[in-house]
Amino acid sequence: LFHSRAHRCALEASGLSDGMRVLEVATGSGEMFRRLVRANRGGATIGVDLSPNMAARTQRTARRKYPSARTHCQAVDARHMPFRSESFDAIFCCYLLELLSTEDISTTLGEFRRILKDRGRLALVLIGQNTALFNAAYRVAGKVAPAFWGRQVEHRVPALVKTVPFQIVEDRTVRQTFYPSRVLVMRK
């Protein structure tokens, strides 16, 4: 309803090709993970989420829909991931950074850089800015249920990305219904 267009944009802009080793950070219900598995059937698609229940749910759904695909999901804190350096060709992260402090965003971006192969791609999908009414409603929702809504960070993230450093190669805004998303694709 709100994310499919942004997910498709991130997939297209990322340069993902079948046969890669791909990581999705913050799988949530697995909507993007299923898209990644479908696009990467000959590769390995790994998913992590802080919630063991969400990681397990995503894994069950992926195995049911794509039984022959190489997939694995597990509960992992994005700030301290258990992967070797330069393990992944591509990393996708949708709507996680809104839930983190600025310090944790920087730490997480540093982890992304550590585990991404040279010239690998990082695709971030962020909640975008919209009309004053949308932005005000989002600020209220973020105060009422911060663990669910978080806060809008899309204007701060590009500056943080450059300090890691990553090179931004795509920067797009996508709207679906009334919901704006910003898609940033970077190269290590």
Q: What does the pLDDT read at residue 137?
A: 57
Q: What does the pLDDT read at residue 148?
A: 47
Residue 183 in tokens: 């898609």
Nearest CA to 141 out of 105, 98, 181 is that of 98
Q: How many domains does the chain have?
A: 1
Containing 11, the helix (H) or strand (E) segment is helix 4-14
Domain that holds residue 114: 4-187
Q: Is 174 left (phi over 0), alpha (psi -120 to 50) or beta?
A: beta
List Cα–Cα distances, 162 to 47, 126, 187, in angstroms.
25, 16, 11
Q: Whole-model pTM above 0.75?
A: yes
CATH number for the domain harbouring residue 181: 3.40.50.150
Residue 150 in tokens: 């978080």
Extract the residue ranges of the chain whose pLDDT is less than 50: 147-150
C-alpha span between 56 and 169 (Å, rounded): 33
Find tokens 């996680």 and name the residue.
96
Containing 94, the helix (H) or strand (E) segment is strand 88-94
